[in-house]
Chain A
Amino acid sequence: MADTTAVAAGLPSESGAKGLKGGALGLLSTTVIGVASTAPAFSLAASLGLVTLAVGLHAPAIMLLAFAPMLFIAAAYFYLNRADPDCGTTFTWVTRAMGPNLGWLAGWGIVMTDLVVMPSLSQIAGKYTFLFFGADGVANGVFWVTVVGVVWIIIMTWICYVGIELSARTQVALLGAEIVILAGFALVALIKVYSGDTTGGLHPRAGWLNPFSIGSTSALASGVLTAVFIYWGWDTAVTVNEESKDSKRTPGIAALLSTLILVGIYVIVTVAAQAFHGADFLTKNSSDVLSALGKDVFGSPWNKLLILAVLTSASASTQTTILPAARSALSMAVHRAAPRKFADIHARYLTPGFATVFFGGLSIVWYVGLSLISKDVLGDSILALGFGIAFYYALTGYACVVYYRRHLFKSFKNLVLIGLAPLLGALGLTWAFLKSLFVYSNPANSTSTTTAWLKFIHFDFKIWHFRFFAKGFGPPLIMGVGLLILGVPLMLLWRAGRPEFFERGREVADTIDGPAPPLTPGVTVVVD
């Protein structure tokens, strides 16, 4: 007598102590996910030198300022996620609000941005692995760092493929250690600065925190575009709300808590780092800035702690890069915007197996290729990354305003949270994007690299006050913007072959409180 299949919901769980469990994410876990996804130690290691390159001693101000657009866009994430907690996130939302073409490009933007960050992650992981073992000479070579970086991608892809997840307690412990080490670093550095126990040390000044004292808007824009990356991933604290225990309050408080932790740690560490040896030291050592500082601040063997923090942080960051990339691809495939294969779920591990492995493989190809042609893999990647993040975050902001347009003026809260905040965030990122286009089109502005790519493209003309000049382009621009543009022909190609996805119309939200009807009715329950 076979009974029909039931999906059991609301089965009593054993206890609340099991941590990260579907259906019951606590405040601590949600906060940890948000902070760990941004990977503070890795973000600082990768970007500190580049921010000081752009704005010198105003780096702490940029750390503060770059958070504003992220905060504003997070409001968009929060409200759009309410309507549709689909793992395609921006892809799904932009498709609903602004139509399938832009939606497709947004999805492409997410995956490409995830791809662009992989070389910097692998580079840092490879380099810091050698630094950890004291093989500083090897750490400066390209070959072995690349080899270890590739091994790193393979291991992390495999971990995502078989679906290993650290227990909640382990994650809290790792993140806790990371934060404590960074705070300890800042404290020791500042004590040494004030006791005069350092060369080239500077006493921190209030002016370091003032973004308005940055003279040039170009410096401001490129600083923001670089620093946006350090907060990237923070929005997951807001979007895991579906799993939260109390999904009305938990994500909000978690977002607030993780904000305080992140902004606090970034500003304090940046202040301490540049107080210690000045800003030029950070710029000169931009490829291994935390390791270089750690040696002088902590001394051996305590500096290994800082290196270890960067490594664990990079592993968390790799995971939070591979998972969303694979899920975005899965979501696009489910909605017929990408080949069906990407929606495959591994029968045993229940992960998006094909999408995960494909992304891992693509990352290796991209990383090795880049190592062969770029002189500064890390710098070029981080700068390029800013373009991608600004692109799809800005789209998310606009999508929120457009999608909820009928509800904007219903209350003051609506106006601020689903209107002004997302719009301001999106406009800010759009401005940083466009301004940086000009800055980075000149290869001399991209970190230590002065080699231009595509030198045959040469123009020089003037429209009104703006001079358009290029003799080749800087690598960050080609990677960042080039990959986004590559999406257009690919989209047209896909559209020509499989027009289904592109036949849908735009939607507008009926309510801001509840879920929207499915984007593509019925497709998610299909199993092939």
Chain B
Amino acid sequence: MNCQEFWESNPEMHMEGGGAQHGAGGTDSAQHAAECQSCAAQLRRHQALKGGLRTMAAQLRHLEAPARVEAGLLAAYRTQKRVMTGRARRHWWVPVFSWAATAAALIAVAVLLLNPSQPPSPARRPVPGSVELASAGAPDFDANASAETDDDFIPLPNAENLDPDEEVNVVRMEVPRSTMMAVGLPVSADRVSELVEADVMVGADGVARAIRFVDE
């Protein structure tokens, strides 16, 4: 074995522990180290370095990140866990709501298509009262019904029932045409972003209960 072969055979591995030899490569390495003083000296230097590195590693083993890092990370983990839990909670009802809304829209379209004899709504309705905000008695309709009422007010989804004697306000305003979709009315895709005038019936508690479109 020459010097190059000696170093390529990884002599540090073979001769660790004061010359312990492992296998044929170890025997050859030991023989070369015994014959070549230069390689033997260099090997001793490498072994001394390795010993120093081991000692240094052992001395530094106690070196750890301060406790505040753990505390900060734990807080971050808990926050993230809450967010994840929140997301999981939302997940169950989002698809249910989507399917329910889609089903309601399809039913409304089907009702409109199967009932062509229904008289067309007037092109333009008079403004309720002399001012935009007007008080009126509660119209006779069931807020949960999906069909339009006698006044052509359409109950808003999830709106509470109105008491028969409840005072309501009707406000005329412009709403996006997409609002019509929310109550099951057909809207062409290219007009979704347009505004349309509508009368919104607001209960005594200030919550909108029904809507009537002035210009459809």
A binds B: no
